[in-house]
Amino acid sequence: MKIGVFDSGIGGLSVFNAIKNNFSNLNIVFRNDQEHMPYGDKTKDELLLLVKPFFDQFQAENFDIVIIACNTVSTTILTELKQNYKFMIIPVQPMVREASLITKTKSVAVCATPTTLKSSKYLALKLRYGQNINILEPDCREWATMIQKKQINQLKINSTIESVLNMGCDVIVLACTHYHWIENDIKKICFNRASVIQPEEKIIAKLRQLL
pLDDT value for 211: 84
**60 and 153 assigned to the same domain:** no
32 and 118 belong to one structural domain: no
CATH at 17: 3.40.50.1860
Cβ 171 vs Cβ 99: under 8 Å: yes
pLDDT band at 1 (very low <50, low <70, confident <90, very high): confident
Task: Clarify whether residues 83 and 164 are in a common domain.
Answer: no
Whether the pTM exceeds 0.75: the reply is yes
CB 86 within 8 A of CB 57: no
| Mean pLDDT to the nearest integer, 167-178 | 97
* 131: containing domain: 96-197
Read off the pLDDT of residues 9-66 as tens digits, 9 standing for 90 and up: 999 999 999 999 999 889 999 999 999 989 999 999 999 999 999 999 999 999 999 9
Whether residue 10 is found in the same domain as residue 88: yes
Mean of the per-residue pLDDT values of the chain: 95
User: Is the separation of the CB atoms in 113 and 146 below 8 Å?
Assistant: no
Q: State the Cα–Cα distance between residues 147 and 141, nearest whole angstrom.
A: 11
145-164 per-position pLDDT tens digit: 999 999 999 999 999 999 99
- pLDDT on residue 160: 97
Same domain (yes/no): 85, 118:
no
Same domain, 40 and 70: yes
pLDDT of residue 79: 96
CA neighbor of 41 nearest in space, from 137, 181, 128, 141: 141
Check whether residue 89 and residue 105 sit in a common domain: no
Tally of domains within the chain: 2
127 shares a domain with 146: yes
pLDDT for the residue 51:
98
Residue 210 has a pLDDT of 86
Better pLDDT: 85 or 24: 85
The reply to whether 183 and 206 lie within a common domain is no
C-alpha gyration radius of the chain: 17
Together in a domain, 109 and 79: no
Beta strands 2-7 and 27-32: pairing type? parallel
pLDDT band at 143, cuts 50/70/90?
very high
Catalytic positions? 70, 176
In a 13 Å sphere around the CA of 34, the CA atoms on its Cβ side amount to 10
Q: Is the pLDDT of residue 6 over 90?
A: yes
Residues 204 and 192 in one domain: no
150: DSSP letter: T
Residues 100 and 193 in one domain: yes
